[in-house]
Structure 1
Amino acid sequence: MSVVMNTIGVAFAYAVLALFAQNAIFTRGLGVSRLIQLVGDERTSSWWFALLLCVTQTLVAPLAYFAGSQIVDLPYRAQLRPLLYLACVAVVCIFEHAILRAVKGPRSGLLIRILPIAAVNSGVLGTVLVERTQSFTLAQSIGFGLGSGLGYLLAVMLVTEAGNRLRSKAIPEAFRGLPITLIYIGVLALAIYGFTGHSVIL
């Protein structure tokens, strides 16, 4: 019983670490390839995108852990890692696609359409590479994957909330919209980056 509780505690600790101190968006810049999802667009819901990314990262973590342990003694493991982890993401993506097709809920069509971009992006792959290069245990990997996904969801919440406040007429017209949003994200990233103990040198 104590081993199970200790494992859960480790996973929770690494989830909190990934969520705040090592936020995948603000301190590591992962997911930048799909940064538009933070800002939002008419075709894709940022909330559902973040939820799919979170589920994908959590499911990929144990699969990548076991797959990575199989190539640890190979001489070209550094070159094989990205391909192996991409294969792990593909397996999880196919699994999620099958589940969504079987459920046939009201949002299944939307989720199936955004699943590939939520699964195969720098946020998911970068998180897996961090887990394996840091030699995390299984519990740490699952916790870090979950926390990174929740960190992306936190970033979506912060940017969505700011979206309403950044429409002020006090903002010069040239900065309205995406420019002021990116400036806001940059300042927020510096603030969260400071949580890790770093300081900005001017």
Structure 2
Amino acid sequence: MSEVLHLVGVFFSYAVLAIFAQNAIFTRGLGVSRLVQLVGDKRTSSWWFALMLCITQVLVAPLAFYAGRLLAPLPNRAQLRPVVYLACIAVVCLFELVVLKLAKGPRSGQLIRILPIAAVNSGVLGTVLVERTQSFTLEQSIGFGLGSGLGYLLAVMLVTEAQNRLRSRAIPEAFRGLPITLIYIGVLALAIYGFTGHSVIL
């Protein structure tokens, strides 16, 4: 029982770490281009996109963990890692696609359209590479994958909320729109980067 509680504690601690201190967007810049595109995109729901991203990362984590262990003894593992992890993502994406087609729910069509964009997002591959280069255990990898997906949702929420506030007439015209959004993301990134224990040297 104590072993199970320990594993659950590790899982949630790495999920929280990935959401805040190691936020994939704000500390590593993963998926930023898609994040900016998501804001104000009426065709794609940020919530459903983040959900598909989160599910994909959680399902890819154990697959990549075992694939990484098979690659470990190989001399050319550094070159093979990205290709093998992309193959893991493709397998998970196909699995999710089959499940969504079989489910035939009211939102299946929308989720099928969102799935390839979420699965190919640099945040998925980047998270897997972080997990394997840091030699995370299986529970740490799954927790970090879940946290990275939720961290992406947090980032989307923060930027979406900012869009409503960054339309002020006090902002110079040259900075309105994308420029002020990128400045806002940069300031947030510096603030969250500080959670990792780094300080900005001026």
- TM-score interval, smaller chain: over 0.9
Q: TM-score, normalised by structure 2?
A: 0.96
Aligned-partner Cα distance in 2 for 1:119–1:107:
18
Structure 1 letter corresponding to 2:161: E
The alignment partner of 1:35 has SS state of helix
Q: Does 1:169 align with 2:153?
A: no
Alignment partner, residue 76 of structure 2: 76
Question: 1:95-125 CA distances to partner (integer Å, 9 max, x unpaired)?
Answer: 1111111112222111111211100121000
**Residues matched between the structures, number:** 202
Give percent identity, aligned residues only: 83
What runs of 5+ residues in structure 2 fail to find an aligned partner?
A: none
Match of 2:119 in 1: 119
Q: What amino acid sits opposite 1:161 in the alignment?
A: E
State yes or no: 1:6 paired with 2:6: yes
TM-score (norm 1): 0.96
Structural RMSD (CA): 1.2
| 2: CA distance, partners of 1:136 / 1:37 | 31
Distance 1:98 1:120, change over 3 A: same
Name the CA distance, whole Å, in 1 between partners of 2:163 and 2:35: 14
Range with greater deviation from structure 2 (38-47 or 154-163): 38-47
Amino acid of the residue matched to residue 136 of structure 1? F
Tell me the residue number matched to 1:67.
67
**Which amino acid is 2:34 matched to?**
R
How much has 1:131 moved relative to structure 2?
A: 0.3
1:20 touches 1:192 (CA, 8 Å); kept in 2? yes
Partner of 1:195: helix, strand, or coil? Answer: helix
* In 1, Cα distance between equivalents of 2:87 and 2:66: 13
Shift of 1:38: 4.5
Structure 1: 4+ residue segments shifted above 4 A? none
